[in-house]
Amino acid sequence: MKKQVLVTGGAGFIGSHLCESLLNRNYKVLCVDNLFTGRIENIQYLMSRPDFKFVNHDVIQPLDMETHEIYNLASPASPVHYQIDPVLTWKTNTIGSMNVLELARRKNAKIFQASTSEVYGDPDIHPQPEEYRGNVNPIGVRACYDEGKRSAETLFFDYHRMYNTQIKVVRIFNTYGPRMVPEDGRVISNFIIEALRNRPLKVYGDGSQTRSFCFVDDMVRAFIKMMESPAHITGPINLGNPHEMSIYQLAEMIIDMSNSRSAIEFKKLPEDDPKKRKPDIKKARELLNWEPEVEIKTGLIKTINYFDEMLKAMGKVTGSLSKVFLVNNPF
């Protein structure tokens, strides 16, 4: 019998790529999503595959379904979305995590938790190793997500200690690629859309704050390696690309790669916005034999093309700026 895998948040950006990859590995995939930030368009092309099933369900409500493995990706993940309803965000990460853990306990299923680099807050250690306990504002506007994910990690390890639940916990650093939500406020999608429209790119602060960006294919490959790792490897393990760059450098790169006429505008830095974010991936290299393979320019080409086609279909841009880039500047 084929192994049945449950993916919560499976219609989201990373979740949809994970569903596709699992199907290609000959698993049966049950995709659960309440479509708060996930989109049917992300999984529409999977609907005709016999081993794929979509269920519209909110993990805040209990689940009861057969499964051998669970990937828990259910949660809004960008400030724009998780601050719309911070109480809902907290419930998704706490009550939702309790519900998927209860399902894993009842079914004796292995369960994966997609945690986040946000558990480190605005770090005063750089790069961030898994042993670092973070610098998080528990009452700030981002706390519903940051503290929600920290609470979820607590639940996962308590279930592991109390019930011997097989857990796999990873901390995701900035990830990008096709199927990102265009309105979610993430820096790469924001910059690409504005560049394709020749509108100003908004850089907060002076743009010197840094991030490390991992292409979605690399991230999904790491997820599966983590799930398939020996039982004693529980995590948490950092997953991300350690190549660090400033937000200003990213803006200039996207303007250049999309042949855009956009300017750069500077805006006030948001509350609790981290100044630096870079993963220490020593554990991922040693325990999972994983590290990112897709270079930033290669990943940006694919992401620019995705948004270019989306905007053209919506009648928002004319021409194909990214195709011009690919012809004139091959890698």
Q: Is 145 among the residues known to form the active site?
A: yes
The three-class DSSP label of residue 29 is strand
- pLDDT attached to residue 258: 94
Of the candidates 27, 71, 120, 145, the residue annotated as catalytic is 145
Residue 226 counted as domain residue = yes
**Mean pLDDT (the chain, rounded):** 91
Whether pTM exceeds 0.85? yes
Same domain membership, residue 298 and residue 198: yes
Same domain membership, residue 172 and residue 145: yes
Residue 285 counted as domain residue = no
Same domain membership, residue 12 and residue 33: yes
Residue 289 counted as domain residue = no
Same domain membership, residue 124 and residue 202: no
- pLDDT attached to residue 314: 81
Same domain membership, residue 247 and residue 229: no
Backbone dihedral region for residue 225 (phi beyond 0: left; psi -120 to 50: alpha; all else: beta): alpha
Residue 200 counted as domain residue = yes
Tell me if 132 sits within 8 A of 123, measured CB to CB. yes
Q: For 189-194, which contacts have Cβ atoms below 8 Å and span 24 or more sequence positions?
A: 189/303, 189/307, 191/250, 191/251, 191/254, 192/254, 192/258, 192/300, 192/303, 192/304, 192/307, 193/307, 193/311, 194/262
Same domain membership, residue 80 and residue 49: yes
Same domain membership, residue 203 and residue 86: no
Residue 311 counted as domain residue = yes
CB atoms inside a 10 Å sphere around CB 40: 13
Give the H or E element holding residue 87.
Answer: helix 86-107
Write the pLDDT tens digit of every residue in 234-272: 999 999 999 999 999 999 999 999 999 999 999 888 765
- pLDDT attached to residue 317: 54
Residue 247 is part of which domain span?
187-210+242-277+294-328
Whether the link from the prior residue into 182 is cis, omega within 30° of 0, is no
CATH code of the domain covering residue 309: 3.90.25.10
Same domain membership, residue 147 and residue 87: yes
Residue 286 counted as domain residue = no
Same domain membership, residue 260 and residue 228: no
- pLDDT attached to residue 151: 97
Same domain membership, residue 132 and residue 206: no
CATH code of the domain covering residue 73: 3.40.50.720
Residue 283 counted as domain residue = no
Write the pLDDT tens digit of every residue in 142-197: 888 899 999 999 999 999 999 999 999 999 999 999 999 887 778 999 999 999 99
Write the pLDDT tens digit of every residue in 112-156: 999 999 999 888 888 999 999 988 889 988 888 899 999 999 999
Q: What is the mean pLDDT of residues 17-27?
A: 97
Of 19, 109, 24, 115, which Cα lies nearest the Cα of 65? 109
Domain count, the chain: 2
Q: What is the 3-state secondary structure (H, E, C) of 207-222?
A: CCCEEECEEHHHHHHH
Q: What is the mean pLDDT of residues 85-98?
A: 93
Same domain membership, residue 31 and residue 150: yes
Half-sphere exposure of residue 295, counting CA atoms within 13 Å on the CB side? 3
Nearest-angstrom CA–CA distance, 187 and 263: 15
Write the pLDDT tens digit of every residue in 274-304: 677 889 999 999 999 999 999 999 999 999 9
Exposed e or buried b per residue across 236-261, where buried means at least 16 C-beta atoms within 10 angstroms of its C-beta: bbbbbbbebebbbebbbbbbebbbbe
Same domain membership, residue 163 and residue 58: yes
